[in-house]
Amino acid sequence: MDLTIAQQVLLYGFLIAVVMGAVVNKTNFCTMGAVSDWVNMGDTSRMRAWFLAISVAMIGAILLETLGVLAMDSTLPPYRATNFAWPRYIFGGLMFGVGMTLASGCGNKTLIRIGGGNLKSIVVLLVAGFFAYLMTKTNFYAVVFHSWMNPISVDLGVRGYTGQDIGSLAAHVTGGDAASIRLIFGMLLAGLMLFIIFRSEEFRKGFDHVLAGIVVGAAVIGAWYITGGPMGQTWLEEVEFMDQRPISVGVQSYTFINPMGEALAYVKGGADSLLVSFGLTALLGVIVGSFLYSIFTKKFRIEWFSSKQDVVNHLIGATLMGIGGVLSMGCTIGQGITGVSTLAIGSMMVLVSIILGSALTMKVQYYKMVYEDEATFAKSLITGLVDMKLLPEKLRKLDAV
């Protein structure tokens, strides 16, 4: 049976996600775990794997665009939009960082855990999906966030800028060519990151970390090519002539919070085929890949909540992930890798905000565990900021441990 172009795009996106899900499960690639290892043990191996994925994705995306294979000026979500919504990037990123820490992992890790038998992560998926749906399909975002965030955002378009990525910003200032600047700056930045990443002998010897970074980065490149390359262009042209258009058709790569909301919309819509998006098939692909790896390696284990507090933490975390992930227009993968590969300043701000939110949450949890009643939230937060050199030492409220 011949597949339509739309079916081919969705199938290939699914298959790449299956591979990514299996490899991420095998290598324990985890962005929340990367922050945890760094903050709690000073181990940067998983953080290096994350930034290796960023570097690989950046190189691939820049080369695809430079060679004219695809264009990233109009993507889903609009990473290079001239509306520089800095409040969304910062507050959304911080919310997501806090949320993924409380929920034991980011959106991608939640899917990996589901494939491995973790029932807690199914709850996280449902709750995060509900709030993602609320943010995208109702007026919740408009009432709670847009009303005050939009007025303080910066419209770069009225100032003559064509986008918020490094190439567009530099081209406007210097009068140079945006594409050339993206190529030069992007390759230099990726090269610098690779140099720093592979300076670590321990990391170089860690096969799983290197494998994870390369595969996740390559998966992001593959999705960019599928949705924005020749097949993707045909897909876009085909949709233009449809009376009823499927959702979320456009140049895009992997992201996992908004698709959680799309999964609920698909169920609510009676399994309408027009509600099957690239993100939804990717979400399923990661779960399937993780499940297959767990079954073949006999690592599939059913897990449930350990206590009432564990339930509360995961529910709060999932809520913050659903809201924060949509607010920041992406997660640790969607903005932290996919978005950053476009050299968008907003994506870089989200990445930093997610790491900061997660790191501070871990600091607060740690100090409250060590000092118990003496460690109020305020004292723990201030001390955590001091530990991270974001506040002067004289403001420390609790002794370092």
pTM score of the predicted model? 0.96
Q: What angle do CA 115, 301, 311 make, to 5 degrees?
A: 80
Q: Is the dihedral of CA 370, 374, 380, 382 positive or negative?
A: negative
Q: Quote the CA–CA distance of 204 and 391 in Å, as a whole number.
A: 34
What mean pLDDT do residues 319-334 have? 97
Share of the chain above pLDDT 90, in %: 93
The DSSP call for residue 24 is H
pLDDT above 80 (res 401):
no
What mean pLDDT do residues 31-35 have? 95
Share of the chain above pLDDT 70, in %: 100
Q: What is the pLDDT of residue 1?
A: 64
Out of 60-64, 224-228, 259-263, 369-373, least confident range: 369-373
- Which has the closest alpha carbon to 109: 384, 309, 376, 336? 336
Q: What is the pLDDT of residue 400?
A: 83
Cα Rg, the chain, nearest whole Å: 21
The DSSP call for residue 154 is E
What mean pLDDT do residues 270-278 have? 92
Q: What is the pLDDT of residue 353?
A: 98
pLDDT above 70 (res 18):
yes
In DSSP notation, 85-103 reads: -HHHHHHHHHHHHHHHHHT
Q: Which tens digits make up the pLDDT trace of 110-146?
A: 999 999 999 999 999 999 999 999 999 999 999 999 9
Is the CB of residue 112 less than 8 Å from the CB of residue 301?
Answer: no
How high is the mean pLDDT of the chain?
95
pLDDT above 80 (res 221):
yes
- Which has the closest alpha carbon to 341: 67, 64, 126, 145? 64
What percent helix, strand, coil does the chain show, rounded to 5? 75, 0, 25
Q: What is the pLDDT of residue 252?
A: 98
CA-to-CA dists, residue 6 to 90, 222, 242, 289, angstroms: 35, 16, 12, 22
Q: What is the pLDDT of residue 192?
A: 98
Q: How many CB atoms lie within 10 A of CB 396?
A: 15
Confidence of residue 108 (pLDDT cuts 50, 70, 90): very high
Q: What is the pLDDT of residue 219?
A: 98
pLDDT above 90 (res 243):
no
Q: What is the pLDDT of residue 332?
A: 96
Higher pLDDT, residue 183 or 242: 183
Q: Quote the CA–CA distance of 289 and 190 in Å, as a whole number.
A: 28
What mean pLDDT do residues 237-251 have? 88
What mean pLDDT do residues 38-50 have? 94
Confidence of residue 242 (pLDDT cuts 50, 70, 90): confident
Is the CB of residue 255 less than 8 Å from the CB of residue 225?
Answer: no
What mean pLDDT do residues 197-214 have? 95
Listed by start position, the domains of the chain span 5-72+84-395
